[in-house]
């Protein structure tokens, strides 16, 4: 069992330092999916401070997570948290830009939760690491409700570009015949793509 005090502290740290960790709703769904589908080997793109990786390991003792983070401060914080929860043997943390990382293993689940404009690149880079019938889950598909807005109503240019990218990624998933994708409003919106 995970120490709830450590989890609480991670959440407080995330709030105080503007680290966008998963919402409780999204987390709840993800953990249930892992349990119901007996997922054992997970690749996560976007560790932040290790919160979601640690939570996923909490589902069962034989779950392993490989997770990638490019921000040094967050990576260092993740190392600390993984040590505190004694999950060093089960969480493999890679400090690099995911677009430079090559992994050889196969995973039952690939969880994409990094730079939202790069979702398609992450998807295409790592799908060869998915087991047959594996799942790719992408977080923040609604991006705080902005994706359902008319892009003209979004004042910042960067944000408009980002929302456009997320919409394009959605179309990419919808048109991808190799996967069956469900779009959920859970948490901040999640895409669940199951390989046919």
Q: Does 136 bind ligand SAH (CB under 6 A)?
A: no
Q: Would you give the DSSP letter of residue 161?
A: H
CB of 90 to Mg ion, least distance (A): 21
Q: Does 140 bind Mg ion (CB under 5 A)?
A: yes
Q: Does 67 bind Mg ion (CB under 5 A)?
A: no
- Say whether 35 sits in a helix, a strand or coil: helix
Q: Does 188 bind ligand SAH (CB under 6 A)?
A: no
C-beta separation of 137 from 192 below 8 A = yes
Which of 42, 66, 69, 87 is in the footprint of ligand SAH by CB under 6 A? 69
CB of 153 to Mg ion, least distance (A): 23
d(CA 122, CA 99): 7
d(CA 50, CA 145): 25
Angle formed at CA 158 by CA 152 and CA 159, multiple of 5 degrees? 55
Q: Nearest residue by C-beta to ligand SAH?
A: 46
Question: Binding string to ligand SAH for residues 81 to 100, with x set by CB under 6 A, is what?
Answer: ----------------xxx-
d(CA 49, CA 75): 6
Name the one range near ligand SAH by CB under 6 A: 32-40, 66-74, 166-174, 180-188.
66-74
């Amino acid at each position: 069992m995970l120490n709830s005090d450590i989890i609480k502290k991670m959440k407080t740290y995330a709030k105080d330092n503007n680290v966008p960790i998963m919402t409780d709703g999204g987390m709840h769904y993800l953990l249930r999916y892992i349990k119901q589908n007996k997922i054992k080997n997970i690749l996560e793109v976007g560790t932040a401070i290790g919160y979601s990786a640690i939570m996923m390991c909490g589902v069962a003792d034989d779950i392993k997570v490989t997770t990638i983070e490019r921000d040094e401060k967050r990576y260092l914080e993740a190392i600390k948290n993984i040590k505190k929860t004694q999950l060093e043997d089960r969480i493999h943390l890679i400090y690099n830009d995911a677009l430079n990382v090559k992994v050889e293993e196969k995973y039952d689940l690939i969880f994409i939760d990094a730079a939202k404009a790069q979702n398609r690149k992450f998807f295409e880079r790592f799908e060869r690491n998915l087991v047959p019938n594996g799942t790719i889950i992408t977080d923040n598909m609604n991006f705080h409700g902005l994706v359902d807005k008319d892009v003209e109503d979004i004042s910042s240019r960067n944000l408009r570009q980002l929302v456009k990218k997320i919409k394009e990624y959605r179309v990419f998933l919808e048109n991808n015949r190799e996967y069956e994708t469900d779009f959920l409003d859970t948490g901040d919106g999640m895409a669940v793509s199951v390989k046919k």
